[in-house]
Chain A
């Protein structure tokens, strides 16, 4: 997963270095420009047990700003925004590794440095009694939930 490049982003961007799962480090550029979640759509993706993306739908590609080729094979943390506290994702993985679904409001970072909020649900995919992958479905969150999350995440960073 490559670092952000200035030519890919729009607007005034700040720089941050993210420490991601698996010892990965990534330099990202991010702006204060929000892209509204499209009405009525679901963003769907599947990852393997290590969080590597194996399937994305069209809405995922459109909202993330990456091509499908860039997404498949990348860690799901390709969308990690520096405003998201690491503890939220620790909770996600701790929860789904127990075989239980996880739900939360997440701020995602686009390839162009803009962001979008989602209500995410992640479930383990069980085949013949074994967790083989994870499916994540994102839908439009209410503004109230987003405002609550902005305050909560600021206090957790």
Chain B
């Protein structure tokens, strides 16, 4: 039997090959046939999840509740030291120096990355900017969010902090950060579907041990991670509760 594996569509493009390398390593270590399928959008990915077409996923935290509570997924591991944070940035020439300086009618450039959108809108709330009094410019990538700011089409941009930090120095010199989230407990996680539930503990041990030899260290490096760390079920429940609280 071949199991189906997918990755949250918001992974950095530089790590695309890394996920294929990881999948090859995982198949070798587990002896299972695993097919990696990438989706271009969260919507496309969710529709396959909805039809029980996924057995292993590196999931966006926004989807964790649905995966655990509706689809019976189990948490495996998360990358050590990597949490999802959002940044609200403006053009360097903007008159806004604080979120409180923004006005209703603000145009917001953002991607469809669901947890970053949610965190971004929470940060904007402090300036009385809500979905119903602002306009959104949808973008396919964070570099396009920056472009909207540089060209003056958007007043603010919502970025995954890591993506903003990885913009070129030239682009960043023309932008300014208004606020950066410091939430610290929201992260992507590798999760196992019900068909593979019986291998949860075995796979957790395998993944946590990655980095103990040159080969697996190189695999981790290709993903941009230093190590995986185990997620306890209650830790996942806590993150889901937190996401539920923030989504209100």
Residues of A within 8 A of B (CB): 37-42, 44, 46, 57-59, 101, 103, 119, 121-123, 125, 127, 135-137, 139-145
Contact = CB atoms under 8 A, between A and B. Distances in A.
Contacts of A39: 99, 123, 126, 179-180
B185 A142 contact: no
Interface in B150-180: 179-180
A139 to B, nearest CB: 6
Given A139-B125, A141-B126, A40 B241 contact: no
A121 B127 contact: no
15 contacts: A37-B126, A39-B123, A41-B181, A44-B185, A119-B125, A123-B244, A123-B248, A125-B241, A135-B245, A137-B242, A137-B246, A139-B122, A140-B126, A141-B126, A142-B127
Contacts of A145: 128
A38 B184 CA distance: 14
A40 B237 contact: no
A145 B241 CA distance: 25
A80 B185 CA distance: 26
Contacts of B245: 101, 121-123, 135-137
A136 B245 CA distance: 8
B246 A121 contact: yes
A76 to B, nearest CB: 15
A42 B243 CA distance: 12
Given A57-B185, A125-B237, 17 more contacts: A39-B179, A40-B123, A40-B179, A41-B183, A42-B182, A44-B242, A46-B238, A59-B182, A101-B248, A123-B244, A123-B248, A125-B241, A136-B245, A140-B125, A142-B100, A142-B128, A144-B128
Contacts of A42: 181-183, 246
Contacts of B246: 42, 121, 137
Most buried by A among B99, B122, B125, B241: B241
Nearest to B100: A143
Contact of A127 (B122, B127, B237, B242): B237
Count class of interface residues, chain B:
20 to 34
A142 B100 CA distance: 8
A23 to B, nearest CB: 29
B219 to A, nearest CB: 33
Contacts of A137: 242, 245-246
A59 B185 CA distance: 12
A46 B241 CA distance: 10
Contacts of B126: 37, 39, 139-142
Contacts of A142: 100, 125-128
Contacts of A119: 125
Nearest to B181: A40
Nearest to A55: B238
Contacts of A122: 245
Nearest to A134: B241
Top 10 nearest A-B pairs by Cβ distance? A140-B126, A137-B245, A142-B128, A40-B181, A135-B241, A39-B179, A121-B245, A40-B182, A123-B245, A41-B182
